[in-house]
Copies of this chain bind each other. A is one copy, B any other.
Amino acid sequence: MLGTVTLMKTIEGREAVAEPARKNDSEKRGRKASKEVRQLQLIEATIDSLAKRGYAETTMADVADGAGLSRGIVNFHFESKEKLLVATLQHMYDEYSAHWRNALQKAGDDPARQLQALVAADFDRSICNKRKLAAWCAFWGEAKSRPTYQALSSSRDAYYQQVFIDLCAALKESGSYAYEPQVMALALSAMLEGLWLRMMMGTEDTTRETALQAANAFLVAAFPEHY
């Protein structure tokens, strides 16, 4: 509920900001840059640190160093470490949401195509890479004990789940399947998250390619009349 409202606000805000990038596009690091650019820069450095060192070892100093800025700067732009991390999580959440919504929109009207587009979107390079996956997992590890993270840390929110359920229901309509849409949607979305987890941890035995292959095999198995 609250998650999706915030989502809309921030997606538009962030996207709008990211494009112009002001006049100082490439090199104005040591001196001054717009507030939004600097915040983005610090958020990216935070993701780097989370991926490299994990949540527990991510320090304000490391983030500042990673961004090539001084120690006190993070507290200036984000009041506290806590708020920096929330902003980082929000950023990743917004990016993920925008990504799958975009993929869904481009997929046309056929539910079968739409579902496959959603699955494929999950393994897109821009979303699904070591750096981002590691950062997600770092937050997952802390989510249950931090109420602030809980709403955002799933990336796949209630609305996303509902879209899956609706698509499964549509396929059931146009085919002769026996399963409850809700149940199959849960199995499918859980598998996608599980594949993410594997890609992060696995020692290269689960790659983007094999993961996508497994996901598609699931679709074929679950909806043989459509794929």
Contacts and interface: CB of A to CB of B under 8 A. Distances in A.
Interface string A130-161: 00001001111111111000100110001000
A74 interface: no
Contacts of A217: 179-180, 183-184, 187
A52 to B, nearest CB: 7
A11 interface: no
B201 A57 contact: no
B214 A183 contact: yes
Given A52-B145, A54-B145, A201-B143, A206 B186 contact: yes
Interface residues of A, number: 54
A189 to B, nearest CB: 7
A183 B178 CA distance: 24
**A interface secondary structure, majority:** helix
Total copies of this chain within the assembly: 2
A192 interface: yes
Interface string A186-201: 1101111111011011
Interface of A: 51-57, 134, 137-146, 150, 153-154, 158, 178-180, 183-184, 186-187, 189-195, 197-198, 200-203, 205-206, 210-211, 213-215, 217-218, 220-222
